[in-house]
Structure 1
């Protein structure tokens, strides 16, 4: 039985099946596209057609197959620029599909976004979840931040949270934006960028 290489192990062999596309060649799939894509659009948000949705789901399923992961892809919802899908029946592969801190899910999202942009010239927000990881992760992260905030209020000392990606940092900033006693500030660069919790009166 072949050893499972994960989502990054097969990328050098990945190629599009469409006749009008060429093989992806990039040493770092995360850098294949910019996190913020700007594409000219009309005033009305584009409708995610059945064709776009089917294409994205097909590519997600192909990625799982090429990575030798169990699982089937099903749509969760589509609204405006957002297309959300879910990986089901992952079995023992669930942890590897999610990856450390959701890194594998993030890679799948970026690759699907890239494929959709290249074929349809439209930039969508692609959300891929598995095992309800994202809801569980958000809840755990908020509990951790609120516990740290209690320590800041009690001790008066600032607390530096662990490094987070941009989405998670925004979640924490929003969590405390109307808090009476706590303010948040992002510090650091790159993978070390993190949030510092501070007492509100110390920032005046």
Structure 2
């Protein structure tokens, strides 16, 4: 079992990513508090605004594209430091938390439509994080779902009960 398989390793991942992100914030002359936690078996790092979060929203970008790129860079920083692949999650200005709730609502609407019509419902393309949120909500409702297509057009299909 490698060190990153346990909580201590995940905390170390969070520390490395936090150091990388603090340097980035310094270079950009932006303010933000960094919160490190372990959630669902992966390190989670959140950059939280000290005051108005308008500056930090620039680090999220349209539809979270900049956030996804920064998450990839933070994962590379962790891998460079530890030699281990990282599944670290990064959130900035609570973007992912808000996105998670909007996706859950979208999933609940699709579930209701599937239950009403008995037919599959395809959702719009999503990244892996977003698809996971939808799959979890669908599973919780007792239905099944699957991902179809290739990135960047990969999407979730909610299936009727069999």
Q: TM-score, normalising length from structure 2?
A: 0.79
Matched, 1:61 2:22: yes
Q: 1:41 to 1:157 in 2, by over 3 A?
A: same
CA distance in 2, matches of 1:52, 1:198: 37
Matched, 1:122 2:116: no
Matched, 1:186 2:125: no
Q: 1:43 to 1:153 in 2, by over 3 A?
A: closer
The answer on whether the counterparts of 1:84 and 1:128 sit within 8 Å (CA) in structure 2 is yes
What is residue 75 of structure 1 aligned with on the other side? 35
- Per-residue CA deviations over 1:139-165 (Å, capped at 9, x if unaligned) read 110111111221222233332101111
CA distance in 2, matches of 1:75, 1:42: 21
More helix by share: 2
Q: Which has the larger radius of gyration?
A: 1
| 2:108 aligns with one of 138, 146, 152 | 146
In the TM superposition, residue 64 of structure 1 has moved relative to its aligned partner by 3.1
In the TM superposition, residue 43 of structure 1 has moved relative to its aligned partner by 9.7
What is residue 161 of structure 2 aligned with on the other side? 200
Q: 1:48 to 1:186 in 2, by over 3 A?
A: closer
The answer on whether the counterparts of 1:81 and 1:125 sit within 8 Å (CA) in structure 2 is no
Matched, 1:100 2:62: yes
Q: 1:63 to 1:156 in 2, by over 3 A?
A: same
- For structure 2, the residue ranges without an aligned partner over 5 or more in a row are none
- Per-residue CA deviations over 1:153-180 (Å, capped at 9, x if unaligned) read 2233332101111222122222222544
- For structure 1, the residue ranges without an aligned partner over 5 or more in a row are 1-39
